[in-house]
Amino acid sequence: MMTANTANRLHIYLLAGVKSSATLFTECIKRLEQQMNEQQLDSQIDVVMPYGEMERSLVSQLFEVSSDLSNRKYMLRKVGGKSAFQHINDSLPTDGAKMLLIGHSGGGAAAYQAAKLLETDERVLDYRVVMIGSPRIPIVPEMQNKVSYFHAIDNNGQSIDPICRLGSWGGWCRSRYYTPHWKSNKYSPGHIEGIVTVGGHKDYFRHEHPYVDDNKQCNLEKMMNRVQEWLKGWL
């Protein structure tokens, strides 16, 4: 049950993708702390490496990410999702506070799968998932409004992150005449937004030159401002 004390508490987990280092989130953590202080929220931030450290085999990490890109029951392993779930389950206090998962690249898939497991176990029910530059993974309908997806685009609105072209949100539907047709966004996140950034897939959290636009806004500032806007009304 949410109390007056837990209403102002937020547990934040940052999940990295393959061949990543925890230092990827250094500036992101500073920005989050600033935002939470401005909103007078008591936050706890933790970094999770669902696919292990950078030194691990790339092939092994990619195989593990692929296990997280499906909701099919026979895909039992969901390695990154289960690893993240275990980490969060062991560290998350039983105080009923809100939880925010932010995942970059494959870490976004692991964040979604971990949240799904945590909700199934009724470990946490009040949460949000932010996927940044992640492969497309089908989101179950009951979770769609709790999941957002941000990806890099150019000034013409075209995607510039090849990782975001992987996977699918599509599914079969029936029309009013029971004719099956493919709907490309049937299982998409509830919020999808492209953000004009400088650089590519690895540069979402860059905060210094040359990752600054003509308006002197860095990639990190743009990203975190849009995430904060999406979280309004929940925090």
How does pLDDT run across 86-97, given as a tens digit for each residue?
999 998 887 778
Beta bridge partners of 159: 153
Where do the structural domains in the chain lie, given as residue ranges? 6-231
Q: Are 134 and 103 in contact (CB under 8 A)?
A: yes
Sign for the CA dihedral angle at 124, 128, 133, 134 comes to: positive
Quick one: CA torsion of 221, 222, 226, 228, rounded to 10 degrees? Answer: 0
What is the predicted pLDDT for the residue at 49?
Answer: 95
Q: Give the model's pLDDT for residue 74.
A: 46
Whether residue 78 contacts residue 67, with contact meaning beta carbons closer than 8 Å, is answered with yes
Q: Give the pLDDT means over successive 10-residue stretches in the chain (235 positions).
A: 63 95 94 93 94 91 88 64 92 84 97 94 92 96 97 95 95 81 92 96 95 94 96 92
Q: How far apart are CA 64 and CA 50, in angstroms?
A: 9
CATH of domain 6-231: 3.40.50.1820
pLDDT in tens, 136-160: 999 999 999 999 999 999 999 999 9
pLDDT of residue 3: 46
What would the two tokens of residue 179 be? Answer: 């004719």
* pTM above threshold 0.85: yes
